[in-house]
Structure formats: structure tokens, C-alpha cells
Amino acid sequence: MKGYAGKLLEIDLSTGNIKETKVDEAILKDYIGGRGLATKILWDRLGANWDNIDPLGPENLLLFLTGPLTGFFPGGRICVSGKSPQNNGVIGSTVAGEFGIELKCAGYDGLIISGQAERPVYILIKDSEVEIKRADHIWGLDGKRTVATLTKECRKIMEENYPRKGLWKEPAILYIGPAGENLVRIAVVAAKWTHAAGYGGYGAVMGSKRLKAIAVKGTGPLPEVANIDEVMKLTEEVCKHAFENELWRRWGTGTGGYKFGAKTSSEPIRNWQEEWHDEKRYGVDKFENRFWVKSYWGDFGCPTTCLKISVIRDGKFKGAITDNPDYELQAYLGTNLGIFSPEANVYLSALIDDLGLCGIQTGNVMGFAAELFQRGILKAEDLDGIELNWGDVEAFANLAKKIAHKEGIGRILADGTYRAALEIGRRKGVNVLPYAVQVKGVGVGAHGIRSRLDYVDIYGYACSVQCGDHTSVAQMPLDHPGSELMTILLDSGVCCSFNTFELPKIDLLFDFYSAVTGVKLTRSQWIRGGGLKILHLQRAMLLLGGPDVKWKPDIDDDNPPRFYEPLVSGPCKGRIIEREDVRKEKKRYYEAVGWDERGIPKREVLTALGLDDVDKALEKIRKEND
């Protein structure tokens, strides 16, 4: 099929074996690439024993997959996946940057990493030359130094190997920070200092394999496409739209820090105790005027360049460099911790980048801890002496470092909000789950649903196969651009969703896919075929879960308890979500996608999709949930 490099690279870190494999066209037609193909590969290779696979054991696989759209549809990304140490299912976690493009230019559609190295290593790929290299000298380094050191080192190696080529451009690098090395479940796989595949916790999986980084340089062209003129024409349409529409272009998502509080009452504040604020000092103008040194920053082929670079040049946070921060981090490393200072927010975001932590999950678990401190459930002595008061940036910075290094209380919080809640509950003899704002092991993104002015669907997180992931929520009708099936297409074609928002031609993405691959695909085919297959498979693997956690749809397909408390402030004060309404909507959604009333994929639907083996595997789940 066109648009693909045609092979995957498999590296076993236990044995050092390296080989190339091909994927059947029939599989690519259904599962595309990225998230979809990752799910299929994981199912085929680990499915039979899924509930016994330890996400942080050598038996887990770590996948880095592009899709046919990577490099062509504007805005380059790569999808990171494996068995997630957060929800124990499969999460497709995409990260922006040039890695996917370099990989395809090197001749590979993706990487499958298995096993576990004895000592820290990194992988250097230059076209078909693949080397596993010692990484003792970079193990322990923060994100900025990791990238800087490897950029120099890899360029030097390539210059030595190919002395007459001229200057070598840097390879693209994916890496982990200290958090990933220490198997922190809320660690990211990072790129370019500030980009991260956050949801899923794959930084910890990478750390468990003792893989510090992967650097790739591909010198070939992107693969041939079916109709290059059509691809170029559609690219121009996407770009033109991005330039004219200006959505995300001017401020990225940075207006959110004020807007989602003041205008839509959907921003997490002090662990979601409130969702409304009117703090104008937290407006995007302050971020822009004080800290932005670059107003448009982006990745391969992107017309939107939604990122902005913030730098603190003096004062106590001098030297902090990060992007934007974007809305999610303005919220989770700001308002959710009671912080309304742009400067403190830039500082914390830069710190989280350096440590290799997920800004969303870390802000979620730190807000959770701070609420327990507010309620007197956790005392300073439980927190290694930290008085975890709302708004205290030094205290939160301290705590973040403890989490990344698993020191003291950090050891518990490093497992993410859900597991931390279980552990703290056990130690204190109190049920603290009501304060855990998470769904099936994944802290929810910074978009509240109580006001219904932002994310409008009250079952969106509860029914998502990626759980708290705000970029992949359930939505009906299934062919709606915001439905999870459509997100699956973006994450499987692997490109940036921001360049698809509000496109005037709603099916442009399908046309694009067809122009690249030469295979005709329509929206209705997708939502009845490949898209639905991937959704069911992800759902099945989520329900199989294990070994340390197992979800009961009856209980766990639900909103965090906090979302059933009425909003306490702002214009939406008093708004509440009724459990009964959620129950009804859930049922409607189950029905729409083909899950039975217990939330388990139906036999006849699985059979029709050709997923009989999945059906068999789900038999025990059906019994457990009877």
C-alpha cells in the first residue's frame, strides 16, 4: 500500500536481536497504523496472556508507530503505545515532532521494542544501520541535557561515519527523563524538550526496558503516495484553512487558562473543588507579553504552529524554558494547584518537562494530595515535611521532584492518582477515592463537564477506551467529528488533530487518506469497519486489564465522584450532573457501539467484525460481571 515505508523494525533489548518485519496489507487496511495497528499487534502477540502481562515487565512491548498520514497530512506526529501502566489496557499516545518523519525516511513505519536491556542503552538508527548504544553517561540527565548531549553525540557519530557528506542535521530524538528511568507511572516519552506522549505512562515502560532514548535519521524521501498532486492540493486546503481560520494559531490553546475558568466554568481549580475563576492576572496576554520569545513554533509541515516558547530571563525562576504553557498545563500546573501566577506556571511546566513527568497526571495527583492536606487526611509529616498549601509553588516543585525520583511520599504519588488513592486509603483507613479525579487509572484532562459549556457529554470520559484522556472522549453520533471513532482515525493515520478542527470539508481527512494510500475509505465504512474494530479491541483489552488492577464497567465506567457534586461558584453555581442521566447516556452509548448492557462487546458484533478470538477471550469477563 502507498504511503507506507513497508516494514517495521523490531529490537529485542534482552538479546540485542534486530530484525525487520512486514505487515499484511489486509491488516493495514483495517488498523491503518499508530493507535489502531498498535492495538492489533499487542493483541496478536500478548492478547492470549494479556491479564498476566506486567506493563513494567520485560514481557511488555513498547511501540512507536507512524501511520500513512504521517509526514503528509500537515503536522507530524508519532504514536507511542504498549500495555499501559495506568489503565492496563492500550492507549495510543501521540507526540509531535520529526521522529515519525525521520523514521519513514529511514525506511520504517514503526518500531517494536521488546525485552529489557541489562544496562541503560539508547538506540541510534541511521537508515538501515541500527545500533544499540551504552547510555550510562546520559542516564539520570534531565530532558534538556539529554537532548543536547545526544544531538551532539549522534551528529558526531554520523559525521565520522560519513565524513564527505557535509554537515549532518540533528536526528530526531525521543527520550525519557528521570521519572521514566524510575518507573514513575505518570512519566512521559518526550521530544524536543517540551513535547510529550503523556497519557498511558509509556515513559515508565521505556524506563523499565532501560531505554533512555531513540535517535533516528532517515536520508531517504517520504514513501511514494498514490496521488501526489491530490495530496499537495489537499495539503494546500488544510494550510489555507489554518491561515485563515487562525484557530490555535495566534495563542495556541493558551487563552484557555483564563477562558475555561471565566467563561465556561470547566477548569480544574484546587483539585476540581471549583471550576470557575475570574483571575485576569492569569490571562494569556500576561504570558505573551512577559515570557514569549517566539510566537509561532511547530513541527514538520505544520501551518498552525500553535506552540509559543516562554522563557524566564530573571528573578527566582530564571532560566526556565518551556512552550506556551498550553491550556492543559496552565490548568493542571496552575489553577488546579491554586496557582494563578503566569511566572510560577511557566516555571513548573519547565520543571515537569525536565523531570520527564506528565504535566496533566502530575498536576492531577499533586492537586489530590493537596486536597488531602487541606482536609487533614495527609499531614506535613506524611509529606516529608512539606506544607502542601494551595498556591505554594515551591512546595509543589519540591513534591514534583520527589515524585520523579520516588522519594518519600513521592513513591506513592508516582503511581498516579488512582493507585495513590488506594494506597493512602489503606494506610489511613479512610476512603479517599472521592477526591481522586480520575477514570480507570487515568487522571481526567482539564475539561470539566458539570457546566456543560465546554465538554458537553456527561458520559465522554466514563465510556472512553482511553479513559481520562481528554483528546479521546466518547461522543455520539458515532460519525460526529468529535467521536472517539474519529479520534482513532487521527491517532491511527497519525497526524495532528489541530489541523483538522473546523475544516470546511468534513471528509477531507478521508480524501487525504485515499490520496495517500490509494485505498478508498469513507466515513461510514470507517465507523462500521476498521474504526469500530479498533474500538472494540481496545475496549476488550481494557476490560481484560490486570495483573494489578481490573475494571468493572458497572462501577468504573463512571465519572469521578467529584463531578457529581454541584458547582459551588460562578455563573454556573449549583449545576449538577445526575447519576441517573449518566446511567441512561451510558446505556445509549453501549448500544450505539455494540456493547451489551454490562458494557462488554457483544458476541454478534465481534463476530460480524471478524473478532471471534476476542469474543472467546471475553467469556471470562462476561462471567465475572454477571
Partner 1 sequence: MVVARKKEPIWIARDFSRCSGCRRCEIACSFFHEGKIWPEASRIRVFMLLPGIEVPHFCVQCEDYPCVEACPVKALSISDETGAVLVNSESCTGCGNCIKACPGAVPHIHPEKRVILICDLCGGDPKCVKVCREGGWNALTIVMRRDDSYKLYARTPEDITRDLAAKLYGREARELI
Residues of this chain that bind partner 1 (CB under 8 A):
71-72, 98, 101, 105, 144-145, 147-148, 151-152, 164-167, 169-170, 192-194, 218-222, 224, 228, 232, 239, 243, 293-294, 296-303, 305, 309, 311, 313, 318-319, 321, 323
Residue in this structure with the C-alpha cell 481520562, named with its chain if needed = 468
| Nearest distance in Å: CB 119, partner 1 | 25
Q: Which is closer to partner 1, CB of 225 or CB of 532?
A: 225
Q: Which is closer to partner 1, CB of 220 or CB of 610?
A: 220
| Nearest distance in Å: CB 238, partner 1 | 12
| Nearest distance in Å: CB 105, partner 1 | 7
Beta carbons of 99 and 77 less than 8 angstroms apart: no
Q: Which is closer to partner 1, CB of 113 or CB of 312?
A: 312
Q: How far apart are CA 222 and CA 109, in angstroms?
A: 11
| Nearest distance in Å: CB 149, partner 1 | 9
CA distances from 354 to 47, 105, 180, 433, 456 (A): 35, 29, 11, 30, 34
Q: Answer whether the bond into residue 325 is a cis peptide, omega within 30°.
A: yes
Which amino acid makes up residue 568?
A: V
Q: Which is closer to partner 1, CB of 35 or CB of 241?
A: 241
What is the length of the chain?
A: 626
Beta carbons of 27 and 541 less than 8 angstroms apart: no
* DSSP track, 99-157: HHHHHHHTT-SEEEEES--SS-EEEEEETTEEEEEE-TTTTT--HHHHHHHHHHHHHHH
Q: Which is closer to partner 1, CB of 207 or CB of 298?
A: 298
| Nearest distance in Å: CB 175, partner 1 | 12
Number of H helices, E strands in the chain: 24, 17
| Nearest distance in Å: CB 386, partner 1 | 28
| Nearest distance in Å: CB 144, partner 1 | 7
Enumerate residues 6+ apart whose C-beta is below 8 A from 483: 474, 475, 476, 477, 527
Q: Which is closer to partner 1, CB of 165 or CB of 584?
A: 165
Greatest CA separation for the chain: 70
Q: Which is closer to partner 1, CB of 71 or CB of 601?
A: 71
The 3-state DSSP composition of the chain as helix, strand, coil percent (nearest 5) reads 40, 15, 45
Q: Which is closer to partner 1, CB of 147 or CB of 463?
A: 147
Q: Which is closer to partner 1, CB of 481 or CB of 518?
A: 518
Pairs from 429-437 (Cβ < 8 Å, separation ≥ 24)? 430/377, 432/372, 432/377, 433/561, 434/561, 434/562, 435/271, 435/368, 435/371, 435/372, 435/375, 435/562, 436/368, 436/560, 436/561, 437/268, 437/271, 437/272, 437/364, 437/367, 437/368, 437/560, 437/562, 437/563
| Nearest distance in Å: CB 507, partner 1 | 23
Q: Which is closer to partner 1, CB of 35 or CB of 249?
A: 249
| Nearest distance in Å: CB 176, partner 1 | 16
Task: Select from 489, 512, 493, 496 the least CA-distant residue to 76.
Answer: 496
Write down the H helix ranges in 273-358.
284-291, 327-332, 342-355
Q: Is 16 helix (H, G, I), strand (E, B) or coil?
A: coil
Beta carbons of 90 and 516 less than 8 angstroms apart: no
Q: Which is closer to partner 1, CB of 152 or CB of 573?
A: 152
| Nearest distance in Å: CB 126, partner 1 | 11
| Nearest distance in Å: CB 294, partner 1 | 6
Q: Which is closer to partner 1, CB of 175 or CB of 368?
A: 175
| Nearest distance in Å: CB 138, partner 1 | 13
SS3 track for 28-89: HHHHCCHHHHHHHHHHHHHHHHHHHCCCCCCCCCEEEECCCCCCCCCCCEEEEEEECCCCCC
| Nearest distance in Å: CB 323, partner 1 | 8
Q: How far apart are CA 239 and CA 158, in angstroms?
A: 34
| Nearest distance in Å: CB 110, partner 1 | 19
Cβ neighbour number for residue 243 with a 10 Å cutoff: 11
Q: Which is closer to partner 1, CB of 309 or CB of 506?
A: 309
Beta carbons of 188 and 357 less than 8 angstroms apart: yes
Q: Which is closer to partner 1, CB of 112 or CB of 124?
A: 124
Burial category of 555 from C-beta neighbours within 10 Å (exposed 0-12, middle 13-18, buried 19 and up): exposed
